[in-house]
Amino acid sequence: MIKDDLISLVRQATQAAQTAGDLPAFDLPAVVVDHPKNPEHGDYATNIALQSARAARLAPLRIAEQIVKHWPPADFVGRVSVAPPGFINIALDDRWLAHQVAVIQANPATYGNSNAGCGRKAQVEFVSANPTGPLTIGHAWGAVLGDTIANLLTATGWDVTREYYFNNGGRQMRLLGESLQVRCLELLGDRRPIPPDGYRGDYLRWVAATLYAEYGDALAEKDVDFFRNKAVDAIFANIRSTLDRLGIRFDVYYNELDLYYNGKIEAAVKALANSGYAYEKDGAVWLRATELGLKQDRVIIKSSGEPTYRMPDIAYHVDKLERGFEYIVDIFGADHHATWPDVLAGVRALGYNTDGIKVILHQFITLMREGQEVKMSTRRGEFVTIDELLDDITTEAIPGKDVMRFMLLTRSPDSPMTFDMDLAVKQSSENPVYYVQYGHARICSILRKAAEEGFTPEAYADGDLSLLTHPSELALLRRMVALPEVIATAAEQLAPHQLSGYATDLATQFHLFYRDCRVLSSDPADRELTKARLRLCDAARIVLARTLGLMGVSAPERM
């Protein structure tokens, strides 16, 4: 990667200057290379001279000058210069930049990928909603974050498993079954109230109608288990279909109940008891979380003998580790912030290292409709489903998931977001996602037109890239070659929202190139330049499509 190469060049240059006696001996601090905000300062900059000033007992400018003087040659580096108060600015070489088109064209499916993961096993757990109702806007963010993080990890060399953890037993589920039973009996003319804390959403009416069509009056004889199972089946079918619309497919659906059946919870309880990290008090079993660095101890087995939610969660994470996942990413809503430290503490108490487990908490989405905040509750049946929203923002040309995914990937998960439905629907034609997709469609249009005029991919394959010297061509190339770094950083920081900003920048640079540089020309004198620019267009298309692909957003060829 460019940045890493530059860091090593800075080190080499500094050592060379020291060996030559142009700089005194001093310990080099960690070299930081980043992008200056002002493009006039070049593509990269390092503050190494400023940081070293004290240790070297020299003015930063003097240090910078000596480092530049001893800068080793490198094909990708153009101008290296010093700027007050002591920055070293580095520009990429124009010829090298132009040549990257060939590199990109040679690797259309993998350009930008790296191998930080070295094929090791990673797991991303997300959505994990219990099947009590349809997926709502509240689930959308975690869904998109998880899937995109999984894409990023795959692109950086991890062997990724997408996993959905759920529980279809327990009190919640019994209430669900009872609620469906009430809806079914309603259809038979037997009116009863929905139990307190039951599920009042209309979706159970639809399930009831389906069941009535199949079973008719026989429904009167069925027990709660029957209704619970039917409700779970129907709701899961709905959830899967919603996920499918979002472009999300899980590798594993993991049922919490299995942890009871296969004895893993019991085993974890025993192990905790033996570890000394569990003790009895008030008839319950407590986890000695305070011994593990937390504020208070927590109940893991209630006095009724039932485990609390922490127990299966602990056993589940142990199971993840035992399945060989070296990197585990959990995506939760902000309401889980107080719970996961307990769970990880339990895992540690069992002797496992939890360093490989990362938790991403996203804030909540406040939904606004007609200027009013919509308070959502699955139990009360008050919510806006992902399906409904997708229906609203889908157009003839573009599926709603593109808008939703892109939108949710423009914000940091840390930032609470308000989602104005009226605005989302109304402004959908001015949504940034269309800006990026339009850039892709525009390129495809040029390439189509070119082919009609005889410039097929084969015909322009030998285009001379050294002809790409226009400032707008170079600006576009600069954004394109940043993809490997963007992917690496977004993956490492588990910050998929960085992709949307990059995609927008890239599209902007293409639109500016399009404005400034005519690609197709009927003048035979322009033939070679046209071929070079077609190669550039093709490479830009590849990079744009890869970026959109990582976000799970489609790259349309026409709009």
Task: Identify whether the C-beta of residue 421 lies closer than 8 Å to the C-beta of residue 392.
Answer: yes
246 or 506, CB closer to RNA? 506
Q: Which residues of 8-38 are buried (b: 16+ CB within 10 A; e: fewer)?
A: ebbeebbebbbeeeebeebeeeebebeebee
98 or 343, CB closer to RNA? 343
List CB contacts of 344: < 8 A, sequence separation 6 or more. 317, 354, 357
Binding to RNA by residue 497, rule CB under 7 A? Answer: yes
Given 189, 217, 304, 458, the residue binding RNA (CB under 7 A): 304
C-alpha 533, offset from chain centre: 33
* Environment class of 376 (CB within 10 Å of its CB; exposed 0-12, middle 13-18, buried 19+): middle
CB of 309 to RNA, least distance (A): 3
Given 16, 28, 271, 559, the residue binding RNA (CB under 7 A): 559
Binding to RNA by residue 432, rule CB under 7 A? Answer: yes
3 state DSSP class of 81: strand
Applying CB under 7 A, the span of 20-28, 226-234, 350-358, 393-401 interacting with RNA comes to 393-401
Question: Among residue numbers 231 through 270, which ones bind RNA (CB under 7 A)?
Answer: 256
Binding to RNA by residue 469, rule CB under 7 A? Answer: no
Provide the mask over 196-225, with x wherever binding to RNA is found by CB under 7 A and - wherever it is not: ------------------------------
Binding to RNA by residue 511, rule CB under 7 A? Answer: yes
| Separation in Å, CA 85 to CA 46, 50, 105, 427, 517 | 12, 8, 41, 45, 37
Task: Identify whether the C-beta of residue 515 lies closer than 8 Å to the C-beta of residue 470.
Answer: no
53 or 328, CB closer to RNA? 53
Question: Among residue numbers 349 through 368, which ones bind RNA (CB under 7 A)?
Answer: 361, 363-364
- Residue 136: DSSP 8-state: B
Given 25, 54, 252, 425, the residue binding RNA (CB under 7 A): 54
Applying CB under 7 A, the span of 138-146, 382-390, 444-452, 457-465 interacting with RNA comes to 444-452
Given 11, 41, 200, 205, the residue binding RNA (CB under 7 A): 41
Binding to RNA by residue 91, rule CB under 7 A? Answer: no
210 or 377, CB closer to RNA? 377
Binding to RNA by residue 495, rule CB under 7 A? Answer: yes
Output the six-digit token pair for 422: 């009226």
CB of 519 to RNA, least distance (A): 3
Given 295, 370, 371, 525, the residue binding RNA (CB under 7 A): 295
Q: Provide the angle, in degrees to the nearest 10, between the axes of the packed helices 527-551 and 137-155.
A: 130
Output the six-digit token pair for 520: 């197709």
Q: Are strands 372-374 and 365-369 parallel, antiparallel or unpaired?
A: antiparallel
Q: Are strands 284-287 and 298-301 parallel, antiparallel or unpaired?
A: antiparallel
Nearest to 366 by CA among 356, 358, 376: 376
Question: Among residue numbers 127 through 146, which ones bind RNA (CB under 7 A)?
Answer: 130
CB of 15 to RNA, least distance (A): 20
Binding to RNA by residue 148, rule CB under 7 A? Answer: no
Binding to RNA by residue 442, rule CB under 7 A? Answer: yes
Binding to RNA by residue 523, rule CB under 7 A? Answer: no
Binding to RNA by residue 26, rule CB under 7 A? Answer: no
Given 114, 229, 275, 508, the residue binding RNA (CB under 7 A): 508
CB of 528 to RNA, least distance (A): 15
Given 25, 237, 252, 397, the residue binding RNA (CB under 7 A): 397
Task: Identify whether the C-beta of residue 182 lies closer than 8 Å to the C-beta of residue 191.
Answer: no
Task: Identify whether the C-beta of residue 547 lies closer than 8 Å to the C-beta of residue 503.
Answer: yes
Between CA 172 and CA 149 the distance in angstroms is: 30
Given 418, 456, 466, 469, the residue binding RNA (CB under 7 A): 418
405 or 497, CB closer to RNA? 497
Applying CB under 7 A, the span of 136-144, 175-183, 241-249, 301-309 interacting with RNA comes to 301-309
Task: Identify whether the C-beta of residue 307 lies closer than 8 Å to the C-beta of residue 259.
Answer: no
* Environment class of 387 (CB within 10 Å of its CB; exposed 0-12, middle 13-18, buried 19+): middle
28 or 512, CB closer to RNA? 512
Given 55, 257, 273, 520, the residue binding RNA (CB under 7 A): 520
Identity of residue 196: P
Between CA 140 and CA 148 the distance in angstroms is: 12
Applying CB under 7 A, the span of 69-77, 178-186, 259-267, 516-524 interacting with RNA comes to 516-524
Task: Identify whether the C-beta of residue 367 lies closer than 8 Å to the C-beta of residue 421.
Answer: yes
Binding to RNA by residue 290, rule CB under 7 A? Answer: no
Q: What is the 3-state secondary structure (H, E, C) of 360-427?
A: EEECCEEEEECCEEECCECCCCECCEHHHHHHHHCCCCCCHHHHHHHHHCCCCCCCCEEEEHHHHHHH
CB of 23 to RNA, least distance (A): 17
3 state DSSP class of 162: strand
CB of 287 to RNA, least distance (A): 11
Longest Cα separation, the chain: 97
Binding to RNA by residue 85, rule CB under 7 A? Answer: yes
Between CA 286 and CA 166 the distance in angstroms is: 24
Question: Among residue numbers 152 through 171, which ones bind RNA (CB under 7 A)?
Answer: 167, 170-171
CB of 416 to RNA, least distance (A): 5
CB of 32 to RNA, least distance (A): 7
Given 51, 113, 181, 385, the residue binding RNA (CB under 7 A): 51
Number of residues that bind RNA (CB under 7 A): 89
Applying CB under 7 A, the span of 13-21, 141-149, 318-326, 407-415 interacting with RNA comes to 407-415
Output the six-digit token pair for 162: 């997408």
